[in-house]
Amino acid sequence: FLEAFNQLKYNIPVIQPFAWDQTFNTLDKVLHFLCLPWEWLQPVLGFPLITFLINVNYNLWFMVMWCMWVLLAFSPMPSVLRMRFFLSFILAWTIGGGFAAVLLSSAGPAYYSALELAPDPYAPLMSYLNGVGETWKLWALDTQQMLWDAHTGKQNIVAGISAMPSMHNASSLLFALVAWQMNRKAGIALAIFATLIFIGSVHLGWHYAVDAYLGWTITIIVWWICGPIARWNQRQSWTSNYLALLKQLPDKVR
């Protein structure tokens, strides 16, 4: 699945050239009282140390994702929650990272000028980020450059530009929904994490705010759809037979 997703993401601009950035920029402005979301955030977040910490948290997304996978995949007992998580994850990335990403092909604020769109309302944000990057390590800037280099054919190791919908935000909400079912404290922690991912996606120039809104919508819908499917699976004979088999194994094996 991941290999197929990576190949698709790499070829999104070939299948459907970036065409929605101006529309999403306008929509962001209309929805946020005629002011772009990054402009609302800048007076609060526009300090080098804060920006650096936001970037650190944004990169932690990969570790959180792997931890969720491992925690649920290696749970020895089948459960509604485990089935619901993996079904929701695959379905959300198929719909959001696949079909919607192609249909709504966009690059994101960091590439507004590179797409030769003018005027560029994100130029002050990127100028600020590059200024911070001179004294603080901002991995977002390096990754954005690598992705653009892949887009222009300079390298093909790290590749794939797609802003809408934001799957960082979509999956972060899914992690919070799953954690809430496990433990309230974990749920609160990952809800805070998801909020910071949203803030980082805007502040670091990765996404328009509407990218996150659609990502969240997709997650909520697939979470709702996959609930009854996971509960149905738990009631089936193959699950009860597997549980019975587990109970017969010695404790050390289990």
Quick one: pLDDT at residue 1? 85
Task: Compute the distance between CA of residue 210 and CA of residue 198 in angstroms, rounded to an integer.
Answer: 11
Q: What is the mean pLDDT of the chain?
A: 93
CB 132 within 8 A of CB 51: yes
Sequence-distant (≥ 6) Cβ neighbours of residue 199 within 8 angstroms: 41, 45, 54
Query: Looking up tokens 């999403």, which residue turns up?
Result: 24
CB 128 within 8 A of CB 52: no
**Which pLDDT tens digit goes with each residue over 32-56?**
999 999 999 999 999 999 999 999 9
Task: Compute the distance between CA of residue 78 and CA of residue 131 in angstroms, rounded to an integer.
Answer: 50
Reply yes or no on whether the pLDDT at 252 is more than 60.
Answer: no
Categorise residue 160: left if φ over 0, alpha if ψ from -120 to 50, beta otherwise. Answer: left
CB 61 within 8 A of CB 180: no
Task: Compute the distance between CA of residue 19 and CA of residue 17 in angstroms, rounded to an integer.
Answer: 6
Establish how many alpha carbons lie within 13 A of residue 48's alpha carbon, considering only the half-sphere containing its beta carbon: 8
Name the pLDDT band for 154 (thresholds 50, 70, 90): confident
Quick one: pLDDT at residue 115? 96
**Which pLDDT tens digit goes with each residue over 5-20?**
888 888 898 899 999 9
